[in-house]
Amino acid sequence: MLAISDKREAILAAALELFEERTYAGCAMPLVADRAGVGAGTIYRYFASKEALGNALYQRWKAEMARYLFDGGPSVDEPRAAFGHLWRQLMAFAIDHPRALAFLETHKHAPYLDEDSRVAAIAIDVAAAAFAADLQATGAVRAAPPAELIALVFGAFVGLTKAIDTGAVTVDHDFLTRTEHAVWHLLAA
């Protein structure tokens, strides 16, 4: 029998799989329960509704993405190294958690997201904008609104992860270095 925290984790893991396989709208809670190996009523001990489950999942993965991106790394006093660290961490998140990345991307404007989920998303945007502004202050990154710079980097990242997923791009030994270098040139002053 699963322990209480294991049941909650099993429900979250099942929801992540099913929301991506069948979409959020196309996934009934009994399917989540079945995939998690729990009774249908058990879900409601942990999550008041499907929306609450979706928000818990969204917030968990936004927090994990933020941890990957902003915990540690070189100081912005070394702008190229700091960017390299961020890029590698972003790619590490995609490699370690491809389903979570897909979920975050497809659900970022979902109508069920509550205020806490929107705040979690905004927190990453604010941290990324501060990072971009700090890099700009060193003179190493071009003058542009930070949101534009973030869009360039994240757009390249999402495009590459989709190309990897479809097999159009192969991750080889030099992939991270090559892509990091190319994306840095989008930003460099």
**Where a domain ends, among 47, 69, 84?**
47
Indicate whether 9 and 99 sit together in one domain. Answer: no
Nearest-CA neighbor of 42 among 9, 83, 20? 9
| Number of CB atoms found within 10 A of residue 18's CB | 20
Q: How many domains does the chain have?
A: 2
Indicate whether 78 and 114 sit together in one domain. Answer: yes
> CA-to-CA distance for 158 and 166, rounded, in angstroms?
12
Indicate whether 23 and 97 sit together in one domain. Answer: no
Nearest-CA neighbor of 38 among 73, 83, 72, 5? 5
Nearest-CA neighbor of 160 among 91, 59, 109, 71? 91
pLDDT, residue 3, reads: 54
> CA-to-CA distance for 118 and 104, rounded, in angstroms?
12
Residue range of the domain that includes 28? 1-47
C-alpha dihedral sign at 131, 133, 138, 141: positive
**Where a domain ends, among 47, 66, 81?**
47
Indicate whether 135 and 172 sit together in one domain. Answer: yes
Indicate whether 60 and 145 sit together in one domain. Answer: yes
Indicate whether 95 and 7 sit together in one domain. Answer: no
pLDDT, residue 133, reads: 95
pLDDT, residue 4, reads: 56
Indicate whether 73 and 106 sit together in one domain. Answer: yes
Q: Give backbone dihedrals phi and psi of 141, rounded to 5 degrees, phi first.
A: -115, 140
> CA-to-CA distance for 104 and 58, rounded, in angstroms?
7
- The CATH number for 179's domain is 1.10.357.10
The whole-number mean pLDDT for each consecutive block of 10 residues of the chain, a chain of 189 residues, reads 74 95 91 94 94 97 95 88 95 94 92 96 94 95 95 94 92 93 95
- The CATH number for 15's domain is 1.10.10.60
pLDDT, residue 5, reads: 72
First to last CA, the chain: 58
CB 2 within 8 A of CB 8: no
Length of the chain: 189
Percent helix, strand, coil in the chain (nearest 5)? 75, 0, 25
Indicate whether 23 and 62 sit together in one domain. Answer: no
Indicate whether 143 and 95 sit together in one domain. Answer: yes
Indicate whether 95 and 178 sit together in one domain. Answer: yes
Beta strand residue intervals within the chain, DSSP E: none
Indicate whether 71 and 43 sit together in one domain. Answer: no
Indicate whether 111 and 43 sit together in one domain. Answer: no
Q: Which two tokens stand for residue 124?
A: 């990453």
pLDDT, residue 1, reads: 47
